[in-house]
Amino acid sequence: MTVPAAPTSGALPGTPAPVRVLIVDDHALVRSGFAMVLSVEEDIEVVGQAANGEEALAALMVCPADVVLMDVQMPVMDGIAATQEIVARGLAKVVILTTFDRDDYLFDALAAGASGFLLKNADPSDLVEAVHAVAEGHALLAPEATLKVISRLVQPPRPGDVVGRSSAPAPVVVRSGTSRAPSAAALLTPRELQVLEVLAEGLSNAEIAARLYLGESTVKTHVSNILAKTDSRDRVQAVIFAYRHGLQRELGRSAG
């Protein structure tokens, strides 16, 4: 049964609206724990809880959310199926939470359209950061997870390979892998190429700004331009673009 959150007083006049979060997990204690972590944040509002994907879809019709924290293994409708439906209908952005560091969950989640993937044993501060990052339109993957994605997506599948629920890896929107595609240098300005190279290391906007001695707002502008110019859905696909064009050779060696 869906458990609605207690109503909050809302944001003060002139302040940004809080990020609305729906927590989906079949264990009530887990839901309560996440809710406790997030509820102390002034700019985050837990709008509801659900025990499976079907309840999550119903809850979103009553209590719209910006971000859904989604478990994977649940009865009735699991987290991957629910994520696919939520993203397809444009209801919210989804962060997959799981206790299992399994590649098939990672790739299934990305293929379903999830914006982030986080282990349940992450620090509470990581959970808060994940909610904010995804709400702001960023993809959330730790550098080591990014390496797994790159390794799987840029290499052709071997005969007999099965990834998660499908025989193909998650779809790649970036079209620059073909010989007819324009080069990275033709698409991006020198500064954008520089930002993309650092972004490919898995750095946040703040870390990129510190590395390149730029303002964080300037970095955000560059990242937005990079995503648009490379036809990348999110930062993960921008990293794939960088890898395919040899812009981050150290990352490429680690992923290969």
pLDDT in tens, 130-141: 898 888 877 666
Q: List Cβ neighbours of 43 (8 Å cut-off, separation of 6 or more).
A: 16, 18, 19, 132
Phi (first) and psi of residue 43, to 5 degrees: -105, 15
Q: What is the pLDDT of residues 115-162, one digit of tens each?
A: 888 888 888 888 898 898 888 877 666 555 555 665 555 554 455 444
Strands 93-98 and 116-119: parallel
3-state secondary structure of 16: coil
Q: Are strands 44-50 and 3-4 parallel, antiparallel or unpaired?
A: antiparallel
pTM of the model: 0.65
Instruction: Select the more confidently predicted residue: 245 or 34.
Output: 34
pLDDT recorded at residue 245: 74
Q: What are phi and psi of 17, to 5 degrees?
A: -65, 145
Instruction: Give the model's pLDDT for residue 53.
Output: 94
**What was the pLDDT predicted at 172?**
32
Average pLDDT, the chain: 76
94-106: pLDDT as tens digits: 998 877 666 667 7
Tell me which residue has tokens 């790649």: 172
Q: Which has the minimum average pLDDT: 19-28, 221-230, 235-244?
A: 235-244
pLDDT for res 253 = 42
pLDDT, average across residues 190-203: 84
Domain architecture of the chain: domains with CATH: 3-140 (3.40.50.2300), 149-155+169-255 (3.40.50.2300)
The answer on pLDDT for 177 being more than 50 is no
